[in-house]
Every structure is written in structure tokens, then in C-alpha cells.
Structure 1
Amino acid sequence: MSEILSFNNVSFSYTPEVKDARKAVQNVSFTINEGEWISIVGHNGSGKSTMVKIISGLLFPQEGEVHVMKNVLTEENLWETRTQIGMVFQNPDNQFVGATVQDDVAFALENNGVPHEEMVKRVHTSLKQVNMDSFLNHEPHHLSGGQKQRVAIAGALAMRPKILILDEATAMLDPQGRAEVLNTVQELREETRLTVLSITHDVEEALLADRILFMNDGKKYAEGSPQEVFSLGDKLVEFGLELPFAMRMTKLLKANGVSLIGEHMTEEELVNDLWTSNFNK
């Protein structure tokens, strides 16, 4: 697969003039390939938000390099690089600027000088991709939380980005809204090979990723598949990360004498094991 984003020994401090100052990001390296879904997880202050700011060019590393589409991110190519990155933030209300859904999706396109006919085409296409094309003339603030985030995703998609960054994009949603957004992103990946970078506290969301980067105190503590990272178990809990519900329930059941074969990442795995081990004899 083709490399689309990488950190090479990246470090950043908000107080570089202070000797031995704590680094918000310290010597972090990783690579994301086209079409992957990567989740960055960690407690508050672990460096996740700083990494997003570095990727989007709001901050530049004091050490190391960031590569986007294999090009080093610099002040000279920043604006061109940003056209390759779509951002969806935690609170969709803070992103809306248009009076209607279609106005809002068209806003960035208009600012970037996209011709009117092309703009109309992209607005309709991107809203259809997130199943919001029947809401063209609705006022964004009257939508549900999940619908608002899907409109925000449509606005990002209309710019034809190579990478979609979800910065705690489901944190303020109820379970139904969260499911709507995550299902939409999964479908987009399957249809378009969109690369997704998810910054999240939600371990159930992180389980959807191909790989997880676990950050602690500005450093990359672990990297691997969800199974590999969450197999660290209590060590992650020690650093402030909650384990998936199925893993916690598995430990609780075993502690109370229920026979189970192994550890379980999902509720489906746990239910199947319970059925096989205890009810299908």
C-alpha cells in the first residue's frame, strides 16, 4: 500500500525556551498507508490533540519531520497540503456557517474557487455519500447530533481529501448518533478507500481501526492491531485507558467462576464463547 502520512521522530514542546521542558509530543514515529483506518488513543494530555495540530499545520515540529503524500510538510506547501486533509471536530455546531445544509457543504468549495457547476455536483455527491441528500434545504442547527456530524463529514468529503481526520468526532453524540457516524465512515472506506485517522477516547470506536497508536505522556507507548494493543490489559488501565466492555466483562465472569476459553474484544465473541463453553454441552 502507498504511504499517505508519516511522523519521523517528531517532537514538540509548547515551551521550547525552557530547559528540560516537558514535550507534548516526544520522538514519535509512525506511518499510515492509503485506505487504512488508524485510531490514536490516550488520556488527556497524552499528545493526541498536539499531533492533530501538527498534521494540519497549525503547529510545526521542533524536531523530526511530517510527511503528507510523501512530501515534507512545510510552511511553503501547507495550504496545498491542507486540501488533501478533511477535518471533522467534536462539536459540529462550531463548524456550521451556512443557512442550509447545502450552503454549509458548499462553503469551503466556494472559498477555494471551485466553479459553480462543479460545486453543485460535489455538494450533491458528498451529501448522498453520507445519506443526507434529502436534507439539502434543512437548517443545520435543527438536525440531530448524528445528522450534524454526517453533514460535517460531507463538507470535508466535498473537498476530495485523501485523509479524513475525526478529532473526537463522536464524543458528544448519543449511542444512536455515534453508530450513524461510524457506520457512515465504514461505508465510505469500503466504497472509496478513504484513509481515516481517528482521535478518540472511545475504545469501542478504536476497535474499528486497522491499527491503534496508544499515546502516553507525549510518547508512543504501543502500536498494533486492536487485539495486540488491548492485550496489554491492566497496563493500559494504569495509564488511564478503559478496556473494551467485552474484555472487562470477560475478566469479571472469569473472576466469578464462569468458564471461558480466552479474552474477548467484542460482545459477539463473548456471547459465542459463553454459548459454546457453558450452554452447548
Structure 2
Amino acid sequence: MKAEIISLQDVTYTYSEENTNIKPAIHNVSFSIGESEWVAIVGHNGSGKSTLARLMNGLLFPQKGKVRIFGETLTMENLWETRSKMGMVFQNPDNQFVGATVQDDVAFALENNGIPFEEMVERVRRSLAKVNMQDFMNSEPHHLSGGQKQRVAIAGAIAMQPRILLLDEATSMLDPQGKEEVLSTVRQLREETDLTVISITHDLEETLLADRVIMMNQGEKYVEDTPKGIFERGQELVDLGLDLPFAMKMSKLIKAQGISLIAEHMSEEELVNDLWTSHFNK
């Protein structure tokens, strides 16, 4: 793994410390994330993944254990400096907008951080171009589609030139086209820079883009593996309350009809190529 950029060491967090009968939302969780890695954190509702997001961005602090970011334990003293190097994109893009226009919204955090005007204008222009939203600079955010709104939210995050981009269920409210727009944008950004991406999600299809997957279950780290290793667990994922990707479910149905496949495929492209090569291209 590359140089460590985030680590959790035996972290525990309970929402009500006074009530000892309440189970911790996070219990003794440890993992590390390397610089420029894409790590997906998945789990069913209530598994603890959203609490992990709050612990990593300093909205919460662990009652036990340590959260280390950029080599330092996260504290109230270094919280704002640490956050300035992290970009956040949340579930509902409408909750993130504060500007009257797209360019105003992207400029908001820059202005609050005292970025000189000339540099701010250039960062806004450059970040919107990176997410292919440069033609919407003067548009009102509420007139945009869901995917466009999230791309603007990503532009606002990357305008701060962060080292880490944290996506907290950022595609869960989007239609398939909007989801593809957002994930394609993040994938391209990562290819062009050394950006570290952490995606918190319950959508297993989203994990196909990750280098590594951390699966949460009932507040504990259940397993840590590559996407391929995770998907090989098959029915076990369903039993844990997760939905298999469409291509895997279709693969199972096709095999149940007596049609042979090389494997139960994770992506639709792999499934189509398998069917074409094995059964139609003869």
C-alpha cells in the first residue's frame, strides 16, 4: 500500500454514552487507506458506515481509539486545517447549495478561506471544466438535474484542491444516468491527479471502481478485500442485506436456464462479452 493518508485504530463510538445498554454504532474498527487509493466502505443501513464518514471528517470524535489523517491524530485543534484538505460530497445535493448561481456556489468555500479573487475565479473555472459543467456557470442550481447538481458539488470540493474526496452516499438519490455521470467524473479526476477517494455506499455496483472494499456489519468491520473477492461471496452478501449487482443477478438467471458462462460476472460489459464470445460469435 502507498503512504498512509487515513487510519482508524480500534475506534469505538456510541451515540449515547450514558446508556450502557445501547450497542456501539462503531466497535473496535481498524483500517488504513493509502494515498491515491479508492476505497469503498459498504454495508446495509445501520451497519455503521455513515458513522465512519462522520468520524473521518471530524463531525464526531471516537470515545475509544484514534483517527489519524495525514499522519496526525484528528483533534479539535487541527480539525479545520485537516478539513481544508478534504472534499465532501453528500447524499442530497440540494442540501449543499448556498450560492444563487453555479459559479457562486463553487466559489463559496474559496471565498471563506480567503483565496485571492483572481485565483478564485481561475479555480472556479478550472474545477467546473473538470466536471464538464463550464457551460452552466450562471445557471441556478435548482434548475439542474440530479447528476449535474452532484457534479457541481464535486467541483466545489475539488476547487479547494483537496488530497481526499469523501463521497457519503453521493449517488444514492440519482437515476442511472446521473449516477454514471458522477462516478465517471470521479474516475477521471482520480486518473488525472493523486486524489484519494473514499466512497461510503450501500450500492455494490459502485464498488467495482474501487481498489479495495471494506464491508461493515452491525458496527464492526466484517471483511476487507478487493471488489472481486467481495463479489465471490455471492449469497452471503444478500444475507447481509446487500443487493447484488444487476450483472451478477442476470448471470445467475442465465446459468439457471442451462446456458454456460465462464463466471458470474460483476459488470454488464463482462457478461455481454462472455455471451457473445461463447454462444454467438461462432
TM-score where L is the length of structure 2: 0.96
In structure 2, the residue matched to 1:11 is 12
In structure 2, the residue matched to 1:25 is 26
- Structure 2 distance, partners of 1:251, 1:128, is 41
Structure 2 runs not aligned, ≥5 long: none
Displacement of 1:231 in angstroms is 0.9
Q: Secondary structure at the match of 1:170?
A: coil
CA contact (8 A) 2:107 2:156 kept: yes
In structure 2, the residue matched to 1:131 is 132
In structure 2, the residue matched to 1:202 is 203
- 1:107-186 map, 5 Å: 107-186=108-187
Deviation per residue, 1:169-227 (Å, 9 max, x gap): 11111111111111111100000121111111222111111111111100111111110
- Structure 2 distance, partners of 1:176, 1:123, is 25
Displacement of 1:278 in angstroms is 2.9
- What is the CA RMSD across the aligned residues, in angstroms? 1.3
AA partner of residue 17 (structure 2): P
- Structure 2 distance, partners of 1:31, 1:194, is 16
Structure 1 runs not aligned, ≥5 long: none
- 1:40-55 map, 5 Å: 40-55=41-56
AA partner of residue 30 (structure 1): F
1:63 matched to 2:64? The reply is yes
Deviation per residue, 1:92-121 (Å, 9 max, x gap): 111111111111111111111111112112
- Structure 1 distance, partners of 2:70, 2:181, is 30
In structure 1, the residue matched to 2:269 is 268
Q: Secondary structure at the match of 2:209?
A: coil
- Structure 1 distance, partners of 2:273, 2:137, is 43
Displacement of 1:277 in angstroms is 3.1
Deviation per residue, 1:70-96 (Å, 9 max, x gap): 111111111111111110111111111
Displacement of 1:233 in angstroms is 1.1
1:90 matched to 2:91? The reply is yes
- Structure 1 distance, partners of 2:277, 2:99, is 54
Deviation per residue, 1:2-30 (Å, 9 max, x gap): 21111111111112222353010111111
Deviates more, 1:112-121 or 1:270-279: 270-279
Aligned length: 281
* Overall identity of the aligned pairs, in %: 67
CA contact (8 A) 2:211 2:226 kept: yes
- Structure 1 distance, partners of 2:19, 2:118, is 53
Displacement of 1:280 in angstroms is 4.2
Q: Secondary structure at the match of 1:38?
A: strand
Displacement of 1:279 in angstroms is 3.3
- Structure 1 distance, partners of 2:270, 2:104, is 44
AA partner of residue 131 (structure 1): N
